Amino acid sequence: MTIEEKEEKTQEKWEVQLRKGTLELVILAALQHRTLYGLELLKLLQSFKSAAITEGTLYPLLDRLKREGIVDAQWVQEGDVRPRKYYSLTTTGHHKLADLITLWRQSVFDIEFLLAHPGPDVLPVQGE
């Protein structure tokens, strides 16, 4: 394995971890004041580079969120098409989203702060 390949792999790993960590927030955000069925939600997520997940990840996750009372699901039959299961946020889900948003913004704020202050002035930089 060359150094470039190794670096690429590490980066990929980080990306996977990041996506995993933010997935719940992403799904809750997508369902904010919106009711979507699985395929719709999947396509929406896949249209974002950082949120592209597979069917096999999405559906069990929705199942868990439903069990935890964060989302609600309802089968809807429209005309001749087969019934679809629509998901929406519950009150608990909205609270959870608010909590996650706070954490997310704090995280972004902190990281951005670090990035904006490279040193040597304000913050001590290790190794210098």
- Residues forming contacts to another protein in the complex (CB under 8 A) are 38-39, 54-57, 59-60, 63-64, 67-68, 81-85
From residue 11, give the alpha-carbon distance in Å to each of 14, 24, 48, 107.
5, 21, 18, 19
CB hemisphere CA count around 74 (13 angstroms): 9
Look at residues 99, 84, 81, 20 and name the one whose alpha carbon lies nearest to residue 54: 20
Instruction: Give the count of beta carbons closer than 10 Å to the beta carbon of residue 34.
Output: 14
Counts of helices then strands in the chain (DSSP H, E): 4, 3
Q: Which is nearer to another protein, 59 or 104 (CB)?
A: 59
Smallest gap from residue 82 Cβ to another protein (A): 5
Q: Which is nearer to another protein, 52 or 108 (CB)?
A: 52
Smallest gap from residue 99 Cβ to another protein (A): 16
Smallest gap from residue 108 Cβ to another protein (A): 28
Smallest gap from residue 128 Cβ to another protein (A): 45
Q: Which is nearer to another protein, 40 or 94 (CB)?
A: 40
Q: Which is nearer to another protein, 35 or 38 (CB)?
A: 38
